[in-house]
Structure 1
């Protein structure tokens, strides 16, 4: 899902593209005017009135585009941070802390080929992956896999241990 462009970055991006286009047009007009003149003293007005301002507009457009994309990225990071730390008012206990509800509760363990973690079957990071394969205790002991920090599956050090299977 793509988030819409924030209203503050949208005009900045449009202004950047407009400045780049205007600068390119001025540079082409200046080049065309200079190329038609034989003497340097007749080329100078084209350089002063078209080519130099065109180059300045290109630089300004590049700066505006970079600033607009940075503002867009910062807005998206803030939005994602807000989603990560958002808690429902009903999730807080009497001390004001959010109640620790597990994301996944399945006892079946999975791993994604090429991955470095093992997950519970209903972990958001592994759920719906067609190439996820079941993990048994033998595979965990000899591999470099680590438990997923999101779903917190039973691991090698857990008294319950990973389920045999």
Structure 2
């Protein structure tokens, strides 16, 4: 997604991961500070300043990450398929054609006989219709 707006789910995901990581760092720092103190009254400042806020950040990060996974991902709109150019109706303005020795009757615009100088009118010959151009209505 280059150059476009950042989806809300991506912002929530990265914010949640950052909050959880910061909370984990604070919890580790609080534990490390408390582990060096022997008396409980000297451990309280570490508990209040690092461990409790760290745990709150971990919970907030989990909530943000969970919310991001529940949101549907925002995708850029897909380009519309190109409209198919309408093919012109088959040309019925001429008599059916055939190639010498051929057993099929073709429309004049059939790609199998178009541009061939040896193609001639079918006339009264009993020929099968070409499966490509279908010169006669069903």
Question: With structure 2 as the length reference, what TM-score do the two structures score?
Answer: 0.49
Structure with bigger helix share is: 1
Question: With structure 1 as the length reference, what TM-score do the two structures score?
Answer: 0.42
